[in-house]
Amino acid sequence: MRILLFIFAAITAVFSVVPSTLATPVPVVTSDAVPLHAASGVIKSWTDKDVTIAHGPVASLGWPAMTMQFSLDEYHGDRFSPGQAVNFTFRNSGSTFSLTTVSTR
Ligand SMILES: [Cu+2]
């Protein structure tokens, strides 16, 4: 009987430890995240590889308004047509600017 009580006590001890172990927060790694930039503009052309957008100022990059190309390598959304006014986000890796999201405005 003593052995059964010992086993019961041991099992109880183990289970009382598990919840606090599960509650330990998992650290979120953000150091390699590439920031997104947001802008609005008008679609000028759309090909299979890239889109040209006449966009307004991009505050997060200190950019003035300009017309430029964005790569579609990372874009999986709907295709838009020349003349459409849009809000969009993009990320830059070196000299490549990749479109990430687009929506009409
Ligand atoms: Cu630009």
**Is the pLDDT confidence value at 30 over 50?**
no
> 13 in a domain, yes or no?
no
pLDDT surpassing 70 at residue 21: no
What is the total count of domains within the chain? Answer: 1
Does residue 75 lie within any of the structural domains? yes
Is pLDDT at 37 greater than 50 in this prediction? yes
Q: How far, in Å, from the CA of 34 to the mean position of ligand 1?
A: 18
Q: What is the CATH number of the domain that holds 68?
A: 2.40.50.320
16 inside domain:
no
Domain containing residue 49: 36-104
How far apart CA 39 and CA 94 sit, in angstroms, is 19
Distance (angstroms) between ligand 1 centre and the Cα of 74 equals: 17
Evaluate if residue 28 carries a pLDDT over 60: no
97, part of any domain? yes
- Tell whether 59 is covered by a domain: yes
Task: Kindly give the distance from the C-alpha atom of residue 27 to the centroid of ligand 1, in angstroms, as a whole number.
Answer: 35
CA 78 to ligand 1 center in whole angstroms:
21
What average pLDDT does the segment 24-52 reach? 79
- pTM, two decimals, is 0.68
The string of DSSP letters for the chain reads -HHHHHHHHHHHHHHHHHHHHHTSPPPPP-TTPPPEEEEEEEEEEE-SSEEEEEE--BGGGTB-SEEEEEE-TT--S----TT-EEEEEEEEETTEEEEEEEEE-
Average pLDDT for 28-48: 81
How far is the centre of ligand 1, averaged over its atoms, from the C-alpha of 86 (Å)? 14
Query: Is 20 a domain residue?
Result: no
- Is 43 a member of any domain? yes
